[in-house]
Amino acid sequence: MSFAIAAVFTFLAAALIYRLIFSVFFSPLAKIPGPKPFSLTKARLAYEDYRGSRTRTINALHRKYGPAVRIGPNEVTFNSTPALRTIYGAGSGFERTSFYSMFEAYGRKNMFSFHTVKEHGDRKKMFAHAYAKSAILKPDTAAMIEGKVKSYLELLEKDGRTSEIFSSLHYFSLDAITDFVYGRFGKTSCLQGVEKDRALIEDIMSTARRKLSWYTVHFPRFTKWLYSQTGMVGCIARQFYPMQLPTTYTGIRLYAIKACQEFSKASAEAKENETSVISKLWKHHRSQKENGIDDVDIAAECADHLLAGIDTTSDTLMFLIWSLSRPEHKEFQQKLVDEVRSISESDLNADGIPKAEVTDRLSYLDAVIKETLRLYAPLPGTEPRSLPRAATVDGYMIPPRTVVSISPYALHRNPDVFKDPLKFNPDRWLDNSQDTAEMKKWFWAFSSGGRMCIGMHLAMAEMTTLVSAIYRKYTTSTTGGFENVSPGITGRYEVFYDETCKGVREHECRVEFKPQAVATGV
């Protein structure tokens, strides 16, 4: 018996050694450079995830090994424009991996989490027209955005002009996205001080969400099992929860499904008069179309749009205002002030807010937003994909189902493309001595191809209108120690911040807003 056990262990050990040797020396990926520990086991990259250092580590590996780096037995990260076109270009065939399952809602997939190109495309057709730039700049949607901007300025005055902008900008983005997605059936009033709506923001601020994300990605079945236990086993399981109940997004998802239930109960006339995203989806409901989607599908889709429209916009706005407010960046702020104060009175709405269609055409403002998105992309980490067949990516043969990815964080910090890549410098986008065409090829804040961020034009309209309105009325400066302390935002498993600063404060940013003298004709 002991001989049989020893033989089994010997066989298993030999199989493991063979697998490790094959992975490092004989795998089709063995020719791709990278540190050997990463090619041996997925645990090495999972460790970086746990430390909250994945994205910065991958960027460092690219600086050391080049544009293609093997970061797992079956995973490769790229950092080049040829790879960008091959993996994420229209018609590439590369599909999303199981990583995106963590973004499902109510047990249903949505446009963002569908793996295949067809599933994604079929869902996108239902509402893509609502997110088109022409639709966003139409009077109804533009007026909604301008109304939220007016409310934000009123909140600044009410708060005494020294503001903790991480919170207030989240109120702005939440009010805008709920109005856009749900209309009168679910729009929030955070900017007006409604506490039950503001409480929804607390749902995404727990730092424990990073730990839960890590477990959900690396141990999905165990995590699902852990949270499903009840009774005595459930009491024991609670001691090991990565994040105690309620978990991330619980409140927002509850709010989202209630809004969908309210819409579902509304009269046919009320539904017909709505222009929100939910009304677009309802036209594909099973009661309207054979083989259509059901109530839960609509709720899951809308919940994803709601969540996608909060942090992405508010975090970018926060970093933009903070960057312009730092003492060393006053010249950039003044250039922006000069541009937005040149907007004529005829290009303001009745409340004195710059019209969204006008702010969309401001060149220096566009440069400021581009530079903010370059350094502080709202989703800076890798975006994993795989292909069911072999493919050549940037000169390397990639076997079927290999996980490949690119990170905006690494693309945007390539020193061969962006001079002084860690420096905030909006002027680079308007500098004739710079290769701006090449920079634009490497700019990837909104992804690309068929999976490009569908909310890009909505986010840009919100940002251009709010920033224009703020800097027509105020100048800003950092306060509360934020001159050389960076605000931090929660990513998938890590905190993102400006690495050139001496410190970081997660989910906090303090700025003083100083009124300007009234300009002629304003």
Per-residue pLDDT tens over the stretch 450-487: 899 999 999 999 999 999 999 999 999 999 999 999 99
Check whether residue 181 and residue 63 sit in a common domain: no
Tell me the average pLDDT across 266-288: 92
Average per-residue pLDDT for the chain: 92
- Tokens describing residue 236: 């024991």
The reply to whether 257 and 174 lie within a common domain is yes
Whether residue 520 lies inside any domain: the answer is no
Mean pLDDT for 14-20 is: 53
Residue 495 domain-assigned? yes
According to the model, what pLDDT value does residue 12 have? 58
| pLDDT bracket for residue 521 (50, 70, 90) | very low
Residue 356 inside a domain? The answer is yes
364's CB contacts (< 8 A; 6+ apart) are: 335, 336, 339, 426, 430
pLDDT band with cut points at 50, 70 and 90 for residue 167: very high
Kindly state whether residue 308 falls inside one of the protein's structural domains. Answer: yes
Binding residues: 453
Note the pTM of the prediction, 2 decimals. Answer: 0.93
Q: What is the pLDDT of residues 360-416, one digit of tens each?
A: 999 999 999 999 999 999 999 999 999 999 999 999 999 999 999 999 999 999 999
Residues 164 and 44 in one domain: no
Binding residues for heme: 453
Mean pLDDT of 345-365: 97
Residue 26 maps to a domain:
yes
Longest C-alpha distance within the chain, in Å? Answer: 96
Same domain, 416 and 479: yes
How far CA 295 is from CA of 21, 105, 232, 279, in Å, comes to 51, 12, 34, 12
Q: Which residues neighbour 504 within 8 Å (Cβ) at sequence distance 6 or greater? A: 485, 486, 487, 488, 495, 497, 498
Query: Nearest 5°: phi and psi at 490?
Result: -85, 120
> How many angstroms separate the CA atoms of 297 and 295, rounded?
5
Contact of 331 with 325, CB cutoff 8 Å: no
Spatial CA neighbour of 215 closest among 244, 252, 254, 251: 244
pLDDT, position 18: 45
Decide if 15 is inside a domain. Answer: yes
**pLDDT at residue 520 in the model:** 42
CA dist list (Å): 110 to 106, 107, 383: 10, 10, 17
Task: Determine whether 124 is exposed, middle or buried from the number of CB atoms within 10 Å of its CB (0-12, 13-18, 19+).
Answer: middle
Same domain, 21 and 86: yes
Q: Do 59 and 163 sit in the same domain of this protein?
A: no
* CB contact at 8 A, 152 and 172: yes
Same domain, 70 and 180: no
CATH number, residue 322: 1.10.630.10
The SS3 call for residue 425 is coil
Question: Rounded distance, CA 252 to CA 247, Å?
Answer: 11
Round to whole Å and give the CA distance between 428 and 436: 8
Residues 300-323 have pLDDT tens digits of: 999 999 999 999 999 999 999 999
pLDDT value at 19 more than 80: no
Asked if residue 169 and residue 269 are part of one domain, the reply reads yes
Residues 36 and 166 in one domain: no
The range of the structural domain enclosing residue 58 comes to 2-98+383-408
62-76: average pLDDT = 97
pLDDT value at position 162? 86
Same domain, 179 and 32: no
Is 395 part of a structural domain of the chain?
yes
Number of domains in the chain: 2
Shared domain check, 472 and 404 = no
Q: Are residues 158 and 59 in the same domain?
A: no
Q: What is the 3-class SS of 120-165, one letter each residue?
A: HHHHHCCCHHHHCHHHHCCHHHHHHHHHHHHHHHHHHHHCCCEEEH
- DSSP-derived letter for residue 518 is P
**178 token code pair:** 């709920």
Residue 471 Cα distances to 35, 97, 168, angstroms = 48, 42, 17
Report d(CA 76, CA 33) in Å as an integer.
10
pLDDT in tens, 206-255: 888 899 999 999 999 999 999 999 999 999 999 999 998 888 888 899 99
Compute the distance between CA of residue 261 and CA of residue 279 in angstroms, rounded to an integer.
13
